[in-house]
Structure 1
Amino acid sequence: MIIDGNPKEKKAMEEFHKGNRAEGLKIQDEFVEDLRNAMKTQDHCSCTKACKFHGKCIECVAIHRAHEDHLPNCFHNMINKKIMNISELTEHTIAEDFNK
């Protein structure tokens, strides 16, 4: 199962944004059920670095929340996409400024 950009969870968020909370929660529950089933037999962790917390998302996220130094590796792509979208508002000039 692929978690990042999962179409079912994206559909749930569409419903939430439309104000259809009940349908969003229903779809989200389906996503969680799919995830729990997949975790029994599949490696769902997108992190490619060797780590003793690989696949143990609760522990990994809690550790990163506790030390507040950086984000878990599996969050990097998602955050970088969001930053890129924000950077577009100023024609990516911040990236250009840092490359000088």
Structure 2
Amino acid sequence: MIIDGNEIEKAAMAEFHRGNRKEGLRIQEEFASKFREEYREKDHCSCKKACRYHGNCKECVAIHRAHQEHVPNCMRALINRKIKILSELTEHTIVSEIENPD
């Protein structure tokens, strides 16, 4: 099972966007059920460097929410992709403004 960009969860989100909450929740539970089954005994954490909280998302996210200095490693690629899309709105000029302040 692939977690990142999972087609079942994408289908659930499409239903939510259409306003079909009931169907979105049904499909989302399908994803969650398959996740629980497949990763019952396997490592699901995508972090490349294991830390003390590796695979324990609940505590890892709580720690990052508490200190609010950065995001967990497993969320960085997703957030960077979203930031890149936003940055395209200004032809990626924010990067040069940060790197070359006047």
TM band (smaller chain): over 0.9
Question: Shift in Å at residue 41 of structure 1?
Answer: 2.8
Per-residue deviation, residues 18-76 of structure 1 (Å, max 9, x unmatched): 11111100000011111111221321111111201111111111111111111000110
Looking at structure 2, the residues matched to 12 and 55 of structure 1 have their Cα atoms a distance apart, in angstroms, of 24
The amino acid of 1:42's aligned partner reads K
**Contact 1:8 1:28 survives alignment (8 Å):** yes
Gaps of 5+ in 2: none
Paired letter, 1:22 = K
Distance 1:42 1:50 in 2: 14
Where in structure 2 are the equivalents of 1:79-98 lying within 5 Å? 79-98=79-98
TM-score by length of 1: 0.92
Partner of 2:24: 24
Structure 1 match to 2:4: 4
Q: Which has the higher contact order (CA 8 A, sep 6+)?
A: 1
Q: Distance in 2 between matches of 1:99 and 1:59?
A: 34
> Residue type matched to 1:28 in 2?
Q
1:48 corresponds in structure 2 to 48
Give the whole-Å Cα distance in 2 for the aligned partners of 1:38 and 1:58.
18
How far 1:96 sits from its partner (Å)?
2.7
For the 8 Å contact 1:13–1:24, the answer to whether it is kept is: yes
* Root mean square deviation of aligned Cα: 1.2
Separation in 1, partners of 2:69, 2:97? 25
Percent identity (aligned): 60
